Amino acid sequence: MALKTAVVGMGGIGNTHATCYKNNDLAELVAVCDIVKEKADAAAEKFGVPAFYSEEEMLKAMPEIDIVSVTTSGYDNGSMHFEPAMIALDYGKNVLVEKPICADVRDARELVAFANKKKLYLGCDLNHYFTGPAADAKQLQKDGKVGELVYCIHKVGFNGTQDSYKGPGSPRWQTPYSHLKAFCAHPFSVMRYFCGDVVALQAFLDKPGVRQTAEDPMLSINSIHMKFANGGTGYLISQRGDAMFGYGGWWSYEHCGAKSTFAIENCVEKLHVWEPKNNDPERGTMNQATPAPVTKEYGVSDFSSTFPNRIGAFLEDITNKVPYEHIRASGRDALATLEYTFAAIKSYENGGALVVPEALPPMHGDISLVY
C-alpha cells in the first residue's frame, strides 16, 4: 500500500518533493502545509490535496500520514528544520528533512537522538550521490575493483550571480558561515559515501558567508583537507561566486584507489574509470602514458533528476522495512556532514588547526541483520 506523505514548507523545494511523491507509486501525497497561506493554497490547488497553515493542525486532522517531508529553510538554509521535524516525529511520523539537517549541530544531535528513541525513520535529502555515475562507482568499489583509498578530490560549487543568489538582503544569509553550512552537507556526504568516516580535518576558508555587496564577487571558498578512518586522504574545494570551475564542471569527484581511479563529472553526467596496465613495460617510469579512461555517459544533464532518485530511495527503504538506522542517507549520515562542517568552522577559527570531528552516535544492532 502506498505510503501517505505530506510536505511542510511549500517553497521551490517543497513543490519538488510534492511532485516526486505524486509521481512515485510507492507514495500518495495527501496534504501540503505552509505558514504562508498563499503558498499552501497554491500547492494544494496544483497537487489536488488539502492545504494546511499549521503542521500540528495537519497532523491532528490527518492521523493517517506516514511520512512528512520538511522543506522549510531559515538562516543558513536550515534553521527552520528542527522544530517541524521534531513535531512530526513526536506525532509518530517518519521524516525526510532537507539539508543541512539543521543550522546548529546541537539541534541535529537532538533530532537524530529523538528519531532513534521513537524508532522512526529519519532521512535527509543528501541527493548528490543518488545518481547513475555514483551507483556504478559504488558497485565498482563493492566488487573490489577500486581498492584501498589513496586520495579523493571533490570540487563543487556554483558560479552564482547576484540575481541567482540573493545576498545580504535575504534572511537566509545572515551568519558568517551561511555558504559553508547551507551547501557543504552535499560534498561531505559524497566523500563519506565513498570513503567512510572522517577522523580529522583542517580548513582554510575565505568569505564562508555570502556576498556582502552587489559588487562583491562573493567567492566563498572552503578548502578542506581530510583524513579518513580507513586510510587515505581527501581534499574538498567548494566555492560559490562569480568564478567558473574548469575541468569537471560545477561538480567533479575523483577517487584514486590502489587498483583503479574513477571520476564523476558534472554530478549526473559521466563516469570515467582508469585502470593501470600492469603489463606495460614502461610502468613506473616517466615514459608511461596515462591510459585513456573508459567513459560512460548517462544521457542526463539535469541535476534535478537527483530528487526523484533520492526520494524514491527513501520510499523504498521504508516500504522494504530496512532497519531504521540503516536507511540510505539517514539522519545520522546527515549529522556526520554537520559535525564535519562544525569541525571545519573550529579549524578555521583556530588558524587552520587540525580538528577531530565529534563522534557520531553509535549504531544499534537490529535482530534482522544478525539472524
Q: Interface with ligand NAD by CB under 6 A: which residues?
A: 8-14, 33-36, 39, 55, 71-73, 77-78, 80, 84, 98-99, 125, 127, 182
Tell me how far, at minimum, the Cβ of 260 lies from ligand NAD, in Å: 29
Comparing CA positions, the residue from 32, 26, 35 lying closest to residue 1 is 26
Tell me how far, at minimum, the Cβ of 191 lies from ligand NAD, in Å: 16
Name the residue nearer to ligand NAD (CB basis): 27 or 124: 124
Rounded to whole angstroms, what are the CA distances from 250 to 27, 169, 268, 296?
32, 26, 11, 18
Rounded to whole angstroms, what are the CA distances from 218 to 26, 204, 207, 237, 284?
42, 16, 7, 15, 43
Tell me how far, at minimum, the Cβ of 146 lies from ligand NAD, in Å: 26
Q: Which residue is nearest to ligand NAD (CB)?
A: 11
Tell me how far, at minimum, the Cβ of 357 lies from ligand NAD, in Å: 21
- 257, 148 in Cβ contact below 8 A? yes
The residue written with cell numbers 526523484 in the block is: 308
Name the residue nearer to ligand NAD (CB basis): 33 or 236: 33
Rounded to whole angstroms, what are the CA distances from 284 to 95, 278, 288?
52, 10, 7
Comparing CA positions, the residue from 237, 232, 261, 262 lying closest to residue 251 is 237
Name the residue nearer to ligand NAD (CB basis): 19 or 73: 73
Strand partners, 70: 8, 97
Name the residue nearer to ligand NAD (CB basis): 232 or 241: 241
Name the residue nearer to ligand NAD (CB basis): 133 or 257: 133
Name the residue nearer to ligand NAD (CB basis): 129 or 228: 129
Tell me how far, at minimum, the Cβ of 15 lies from ligand NAD, in Å: 8
Quick one: DSSP state of residue 75?
A: G
Pairing of strands 27-33, 3-8: parallel
* Burial (CB count <10 Å: 0-12, 13-18, 19+), residue 63: exposed
Name the residue nearer to ligand NAD (CB basis): 17 or 255: 17
Name the residue nearer to ligand NAD (CB basis): 56 or 197: 56
Name the residue nearer to ligand NAD (CB basis): 95 or 182: 182
Residue 107 is placed in which grid cell? 539541534
Tell me how far, at minimum, the Cβ of 134 lies from ligand NAD, in Å: 14
Tell me how far, at minimum, the Cβ of 53 lies from ligand NAD, in Å: 8
- Quote the Cα angle for 298-299-304, to 5°: 90
Give Cβ neighbours of residue 370 (< 8 Å, ≥ 6 apart): none
Residue 349 is placed in which grid cell? 577559527
CA torsion angle 170 175 176 182 (round to 10) = -80
Strand partners, 51: 32
